[in-house]
Structure 1
């Protein structure tokens, strides 16, 4: 079997471009927003209620960054008054399995991480 340039045996190199995108996708709030929008489209205030710790400024910045990167779509809903709804884009939907896997991994491994933290803190 011939290996391709991106086979598991030869993973792609992390370039500055990749690092920047990963930093933006894995920042403090993006996974929360993406996880929520994978479930259902939401208005800004619905997202704020779903993620109570996020500030208005941080949520605005996160949504703009996700929209710029093509992960989220901002849709004007023709209601009275006009409303804006955020939806996961088709590109963003490709992340759903990865997001679910990350969340499952953290759920399963959090006890071990906590034990490692305790051991580290005891040694320092």
Structure 2
């Protein structure tokens, strides 16, 4: 996560991720969410991820991966950084839901487990 990098640098990747995701949000919605600390922007070379802090009813904290766009080579670096961030938050999970089916295989290789329509990684 790096707030010093301008989110406009990854506008193309974020817009493409929004288009593929089926979300009705716009790039401006994402920018506002990041500016208001409702979401986190994770820049990489040719990629970007957008996450949100998730709090479960049992009080556990983690990250929800909202969007990812760009080069898959960067994806592994971002996942490792997100895992460290979750630990720093005192959290114990990263999750994504309503994702495209192609993500299942990739995320399972990284230790994510399928729970219905949700993929979740736990410490």
TM-score (norm 2): 0.27
Greater per-residue strand proportion: 2
TM-score by length of 1: 0.27
Q: Which is higher, the Rg of structure 1 or of structure 2? A: 1
